[in-house]
Structure 1
Amino acid sequence: MTADINNPAPKPVVLHIGDPILYNEAIYARFCELYTVIRPSTEERQRPEFIKALKEKRWGDFNAIFRPYWSTGGEMGKWDAELISCLPQGVRVFASAGAGYDWADVDELANHGIIYCNSAAACTESVADFALFGILSTFRQLTWCTTAASDPTSFTRCHLDATALSRNPRGHVLGVIGLGNIGQAIAAKAFAAFKMRILYYDVKRKSSEVEAEVHAAFVPTLQDLVRQSDCVIVATPASPDGKVLVNAELLAHFKKGARLINVARGNLVDEESLADAIDSGHIKSAMLDVHTFEPKVNERLKNRREVMLTCHNAGGTVDTHIGFERLSMENIEAVLSRAEMPNSAVNAHLFSLDI
């Protein structure tokens, strides 16, 4: 059958949720040539209206969902069975900014034939750099050191007393929970900068080549990892079973005087149990960039010299946003234009090779 040049096949339709493109204008222009791009308004992205619009097929039978930023496009809340069941049958890919995906039921998306892609690769460098700051802040009491200069008395007290609580990271054991792209970059940078000994835990062991490249050794259980580590970094985008990862039970297995850093997702750490562990002296210091109830942070962790709190800034650079835009568009093109599995497909293991 020959193609009808007078009635060409309609272009695939992409639902662009969130703010307009800011950086990759040329790539987006080509993207809009390949696909019909529809942007729901802010009002239409509120959950009740969003579900109503899906049910009435306001945007037709679109084929992909494009969310280029983590700070916008999520107004409809959790992508759960209620919301996913309203999507058109023709949706094949959901490409989003950010590394974490606890707000999206990626298994349920797969049940509907939808490949979910995150953009962890785009924020790898930024998050890994920030993690080095976390290591320094917990080993060198940087919260105390950076806030005590406000008056001569606190300055003098910090100058005299912070030394006894501070250590060089060099030679200490860094335990990395999750050796994906970000975890690998953290391990490599920590080894290069501080010559730390790197251990890691992941649900699936990495190849010997990856382990050698980032100087990391595998530990088979989380309990074994934290028992051996002087500093533990949470770098996994989600808990394997959807539950809190660092809870009171796991904290009890930490070395006395260990340090904890979370640059992943706020709900992976039980903040009340962490506060208890700091109060008891079992955990010496902590750095949290992400928080369970953002933008609110745990009251017991505020204004403590042992705790560095930042505002979900680890991946927050212009470089990251440029990468989020580009990678999300590339992931959609891989599926819609080339029928390929994207490199950053989180639920790829739930699909056959033939997509």
Structure 2
Amino acid sequence: MAPRVLVSDELSETAVQIFRDRGVEVDYMPKLGKDKEKLAELIGQYDGLAIRSATKVTEKLLEQATNLKVVGRAGIGVDNVDIPAASKKGVIVMNTPFGNSITTAEHAIAMMFSIARQIPEANASTHAGKWEKSKFMGVELFNKTLGVIGAGNIGGIVCDRAVGLKMKVVAYDPFLSEERAKQLGVTKVDLDDLLARADFITLHVPLTDKTRNILSRENLAKTKKGVRIINCARGGLIDEAALKDALDAGHVAAAALDVFEVEPATENVLFNHPNVVCTPHLGASTTEAQENVALQVAEQMSDYLLTGAVQNALNMPNVTAEEATVMGPWVKLALHLGAFIGQMTDEPIKAINILYDGAVADMNLAALNQSVIAGVLKAHNPDVNLVSAPVVAKERGIQISTTRQEKTGVFDAYIKVTMVTDKRERSVAGTCFSDGKPRFIQIKGINIDAEIGRHMLYTTNEDVPGIIGLLGMTMGKNNVNIANFTLGRSGVGQDAIAILYLDQAIDPKVVETLESTGMFQQVKPLEFEVA
């Protein structure tokens, strides 16, 4: 059955056609995003939701989205999507961070020119027939210092353009490497240094708890007198009341703002200030950019719904279509290994250590880690999923560690998961054969070769005669068919294990019967999600 996508905001017909051409059923209802009740009524029918900024993906809406797998935002900002709520529901949230990068960077440069040469005011004056040539004495950009806060995708383009204008560029970005700074032709500095040196400051960071009011009253006081400030990133990065006071005092010469703390901004403390240029969040508003992000979101959502490929997700590791194909069996194995560990454990988990050996160590380990964690946690909370698992693990204080190593044994590749509690460590390892079927190859350090089925029974005992017969007879008496029977031991007369692949779920009374024999240290029925 073909996946279904709802487009609830304005999107180009070309983008909508991409869904159809890829074999995805699509309903184009561009006004629906503004009708919360109607959207909530219909959303349960869809696997995907493509939006711009009008649709609000709230926790309440997600409760009705019983089939939803992915939300695609045509654009970079996802302020209108409750990402934590989406993660808990297992809904991937994608955006398109690169489709409008050039457009936004160009708008920032245009705004810088506007306040450097007072172009909007001069334009209005000239249209009014005043010819006030001496009133609009601007400043050159040449040889001035531009401070770029956030030198990522958009900020990097601004740096490149500013270097081309022969400006001196300093950049503050905790993630900017010295090598990347050298490539951009900029000087990496700390924030206080940037504030003290810059003639112009432009912001290109997301709005987070760390960046909110990054240009606070205190930081504005640290800037050079006569500084000019541009914000085409996100409202809330600047204390707007403090900026007005700095403008009134003449400490800040001018400001150019495309974004505001409250949008749509029909009123603002900075409106009508003679030294402020304002535009209505136009950073990404060019014909080319709007088309680019629409096409990109349609491709990304189609790829995920049809192949499992994940691109530009905000709550899931990226996985290419090629990786999704190759990794499919290993993702299943990772889930099974986690499920085994999770079902065997009733104690609080302190840590999950994951070892990747051989060829699997070169795969997308972030995605495989999420599968392991989801498998572990689903044993105790069925609502946990691939998307929410890392969040839940972090909330519970579970430490996740990953180790990769070159091939060390007879298998070309394997995964080993070790779980740590206050009382014990428990480990299980598995591999995928050439037929794509995952297998358990080691439990408790004991080598085995066990096919994985939906219903299984795991037992531990001292290595003594009669265990095979006891298990077989008990299953037979209770009409439980054994599809596969695997044994292993650490040595003669030492620890032994058995793992049975059964055709049906085992009745708790059968477990009680086995436990009552006194022959087993542990009898544990297990369930696995097997397609």
Interval of TM-score (by shorter of Structure 1 and Structure 2): 0.7 to 0.9
TM-score, with length taken from structure 1:
0.80
1:81 aligns with 2:70: no
Cα distance change on mapping 1:15 and 1:309 into 2, 3 Å: same
Q: Cα 1:349–1:252, aligned 2, differ >3 Å: closer, same or farther?
A: farther
Instruction: Give the match for residue 168 of structure 2.
Output: 197
- The 5 A counterparts of 1:36-115 are 36-40=25-29, 42=31, 45-54=34-43, 57=44, 59=45, 62-67=46-51, 69-70=52-53, 74-75=54-55, 77=56, 79-88=57-66, 90-115=67-92
Question: Is 2:154 the counterpart of 1:182?
Answer: yes
Aligned partner of 1:162 in structure 2 is 136
Q: Is the 8 A contact 2:256 2:276 kept in 1?
A: yes
- Structure 2 match to 1:11: 2
Unaligned runs of 5+ in 2: 319-364, 369-385, 387-531
Which residue pairs with 1:310 in the alignment?
A: 279
SS at match of 1:267: coil
- 1:345 aligned residue: 313
In 1, Cα distance between equivalents of 2:33 and 2:58: 18
Q: Is the contact made by 2:205 and 2:211 (CA closer than 8 Å) also made in structure 1?
A: no
Quote the Cα distance in structure 1 between the aligned partners of 2:59 and 2:128. 55
Partners of 2:228 and 2:267 lie apart in 1 by 18
Partner of 2:420: none
Structure 2: distance between partners of 1:44 and 1:160: 50
SS for the counterpart of 2:229 is strand
- 5+ residue gaps, structure 1, are 1-9
> 1:104 is aligned with what amino acid?
V
- Per mean C-alpha deviation after superposition, the further-off stretch among 300-309 and 38-47 is 38-47
Q: Distance in 2 between matches of 1:216 and 1:347?
A: 32
Per-residue CA deviations over 1:301-330 (Å, capped at 9, x if unaligned) read: 333331111122221111011101111012
Q: Residue 353 and residue 198 in structure 1: after superposition, are their counterparts in 2 closer, same or farther (change >3 A)? A: farther
Larger Rg: 2
Query: What's 1:211 paired with?
Result: 181
**Aligned in 2, Cα 1:110/1:226: closer, same or farther, shift over 3 Å?**
farther
Q: Which residue identity lines up with residue 94 of structure 2 in the other structure?
A: C
C-alpha displacement of 1:337: 2.7
Q: How far did residue 288 of structure 1 move? A: 0.9
SS at match of 1:227: helix
Report the equivalent of 2:121: 144
The alpha-carbon distance between structure 1 residues 14 and 52, as it changes in their structure 2 partners (threshold 3 A), is closer
Please say which of residues 275-284 and 136-145 is displaced more in the overlay: 136-145
TM-score between both structures, scaled by the size of structure 2: 0.55
Q: 1:298 to 1:155 in 2, by over 3 A?
A: farther
Conservation of the 8 A alpha-carbon contact between 2:8 and 2:33: no
1:233 match: 202
Q: CA RMSD in A?
A: 2.8
Question: Larger strand proportion, structure 1 or 2?
Answer: 2
Alpha carbons of structure 1 residues 85 and 28: separation in structure 2 relative to 1, 3 Å: closer
Q: 1:286 is matched with which residue?
A: 255
The structure richer in helix per residue is 1
Q: 1:241 to 1:299 in 2, by over 3 A?
A: closer
The offset of 1:124, in angstroms, is 1.1
Q: Give yes or no for contact 1:143–1:306 (8 Å, CA) kept in 2.
A: no
Give the superposition deviation at 1:287.
Answer: 0.5
SS of residue in 1 equivalent to 2:272: coil
Distance in 2 (CA, whole Å) between partners of 1:268 and 1:320 is 24
Which AA in structure 2 matches 1:346? L
**1: CA distance, partners of 2:85 / 2:163:** 38
Q: CA deviation at 1:101?
A: 2.0
Q: Which 10-residue stretch deviates more, 22-31 or 115-124?
A: 22-31
The structure showing larger relative contact order (alpha-carbon pairs under 8 Å, at least 6 residues apart) is: 1
| Residues 42 and 182 of structure 1: CA distance in aligned 2, closer, same or farther (over 3 Å) | same
Shift of 1:265: 2.0
- Which amino acid is 2:274 matched to? R
For 2:283 and 2:169, how far apart are their aligned partners in 1?
Answer: 21
Q: Which amino acid aligns with 2:106?
A: D
Which residue does 1:21 correspond to in 2?
Answer: 12
Q: CA shift at 1:40, angstroms?
A: 4.9
d(CA) in 2 for partners of 1:50, 1:26: 22
Alignment of 1:30 onto 2:44: no
* Structure 2 CA distance for aligned equivalents of residues 106 and 209 of structure 1: 33
**Which of these residues, 97, 110, 120, is aligned with residue 120 of structure 1?**
97
Q: 2:49 corresponds to which letter in structure 1?
A: I
Aligned residue number for residue 460 of structure 2: none
Q: 1:111 to 1:209 in 2, by over 3 A?
A: farther
Instruction: Report the residue type matching 1:155 in the other structure.
Output: W
Equivalent residue number for residue 322 of structure 1: 291
Residue 220 of structure 2 corresponds to residue 257 of structure 1: no
Q: Secondary structure at the match of 1:18?
A: coil
| Partner Cα separation in structure 2 for residue 252 and residue 167 of structure 1 | 22
- Listed one character per residue, the Cα deviations across residues 204-237 of structure 1 (whole Å, up to 9, x for unaligned) are 41344432332233334x4443233221112223
Name the SS of the counterpart of 1:255 in structure 2: coil
% identical equivalent positions: 24
Question: Which whole-Å CA distance do the structure 1 matches of 2:59 and 2:39 have between them?
Answer: 14
Residues in 1 aligned to 2:63 and 2:171: alpha-carbon distance in whole angstroms: 37
Q: What SS does the aligned partner of 1:146 have?
A: helix
Distance change in 2, residues 1:114/1:213 (3 Å): farther
Distance 2:286 2:98 in 1: 13
